[in-house]
Amino acid sequence: MSETKVPKDVDEYKKHYSDNGFWNKVKSLGKKVLKPALLLYYVMKSPDTPLGIKASIVGALGYLILPTDLIPDIIPLTGYTDDLGALLAVVKMCESYITPEIKALVDAKLDEL
């Protein structure tokens, strides 16, 4: 498996992650950003995911939760562009840990939301 580079800044956003913050943020996301966020959330919760991958996920989700990032989330149409880029970079890095079970959890949560 080739390793995808994670942006250096991801480490500094880890402190902004919390389960409660994640679920509060999820309520405001469109499906384009919501699906990769949920994929990462459930990969992070999996006991089969290595600690290093979990740390990268926490950083990406922390960046998503943080309202004052590179492109502020309140800007219409472009506010989540940077968040989506960070999420997709980490999804690519951990794609081998995205199991059919995790995909089913994501689909069920998307239907629920």
Give me the chain's average pLDDT, please.
Answer: 82
User: Where are the chain's structural domains?
Assistant: 30-112
Q: Indicate the pTM of the whole model.
A: 0.73
The string of pLDDT tens digits covering residues 38-91 is: 999 999 999 999 999 999 999 999 888 887 766 676 665 667 788 888 899 999
Question: Minimal CA–CA distance to 41: which of 66, 15, 25, 19?
Answer: 19
Confidence of residue 19 (pLDDT cuts 50, 70, 90): confident
Instruction: For residues 81 and 94, give the distance between their C-alpha atoms in angstroms, rounded to a whole number.
Output: 20
Tokens of 76: 């219409």
Decide if pLDDT at 4 tops 50. Answer: no
Neighbours of 104 (CB within 10 A): 11
Tokens of 9: 């800044």
* Distances, alpha carbon 112 to alpha carbons 25, 44, 77, 78, 105, in Å: 16, 20, 24, 26, 10
